[in-house]
Amino acid sequence: MEIILDSPLDMHLHLRDGDMLQRVAPLSAQTFSAGLVMPNLVPPVTSKEMVLSYKERIQEATKGEVFEPYMTLFFRPEYDYDFLREVKEDILAIKLYPAGITTNSEDGVDNFSVEALAPVLEAMSELGIPLCVHGETNGFVMDREAEFIPIYERIAKRFPDLTIVMEHITTKEAVDALVRYDNLYATITLHHLYITLDDVAGGLLRPHLFCKPIAKRPEDRMALRKVAFMAHEKVMFGSDSAPHPRHKKEAPGCAAGVFTAPVALAALAQIFDEAGVLDNLQKFVSDNARRIYGVTPPKKEVTLLKEPFEVPPSYGDVVPMFGGETLRWRVGSVL
């Protein structure tokens, strides 16, 4: 049994920089046609020069692969219309992080009043630049995403022409919000389709499954699976693959992030196959994102086979999801 995917896309991807970039970027570029690259480096990507420089480093790291890095800017309230117009052709979206809520987000936004954000959001709306958001408050960890929904709603109402992507949604409340506003969309990760909080901390702590936003309840996972498996027109795949070296994961102050880049397509095929909806995988991993973002990715044909895939226990010093386990699907060929 096999399935052929046309130009699969990862619309939420962390490639890091330096040695880590060299290690993990090729693993995404081998099987994905393009990826939306997050800007939360140290320092964050906040200028045209930084965008172009980072893109050049990614292309150098993925040399020889057909892979387009879709670039993003780190949201800053001081961006003006002229700056955004100048950088528009070099980015696909702007990523907004609440201050201090996840990895390298200390320089994020701490005032979410619509008036404080309005100048940038008005310019983005006029220029057709999508807004991607890590939607969490600093409240109780299980409630942070649900508490952020009213902020999404205020922005969606005030800026109806602004494309807003709720990144890596994890809750039933976020799924419900999708249908209330025409301009709200979402990415869903591989790991949030597979796990709940019980998988992370219900027995011995599994640090390589710890992420932000944290995995939630079974009913939340069920809501995510429902819209993903039907390839709902407003959701798309974004891995949020977030590599950290083993010593930062297996330590006090465990770094947040699940590394899924090398297993993403095989594991997606497995879970879609189990649900009897394998025919919907193409829409979830490519077609919906093309329409939502208005992109035409490079041509890449990926054949997935229903054959065992023994996942390596690590890639260098980075441990992947399912490391040391065997998946029932694998990548066969890439053309």
pTM value is 0.98
Q: Mind listing the pLDDT tens digit for each residue in 293-326? A: 999 999 999 999 999 999 999 999 999 999 999 9
Dihedral-angle region of residue 33 (phi above 0 means left; psi in -120 to 50 means alpha; beta otherwise): alpha
CB 72 within 8 A of CB 94: yes
Residue range 108-136, pLDDT digits in tens: 999 999 999 999 999 999 999 999 999 99
Query: Bridge-partner residues for 233, per DSSP?
Result: none
326 and 306 Cβ atoms separated by less than 8 Å = no
Two structure tokens written together for 55: 């893109």
Comparing CA positions, the residue from 82, 90, 89 lying closest to residue 54 is 90
Cα–Cα distance, 175 to 166 (Å, whole number): 10
Tell me, what's the pLDDT at 63?
94
Q: Where exactly are the structural domains of the chain?
A: 12-260
C-alpha span between 255 and 209 (Å, rounded):
10
Q: What's the chain's Rg over C-alpha atoms?
A: 19
Q: What is the predicted pLDDT for the residue at 142?
A: 97
Residues of the chain with pLDDT under 70: none
Q: Which residues pair with 166 in a beta bridge?
A: 133, 186
**C-alpha torsion sign, points 86, 91, 96, 102:** negative
> Which residues are known catalytic residues?
240
CATH class of 12-260: alpha beta
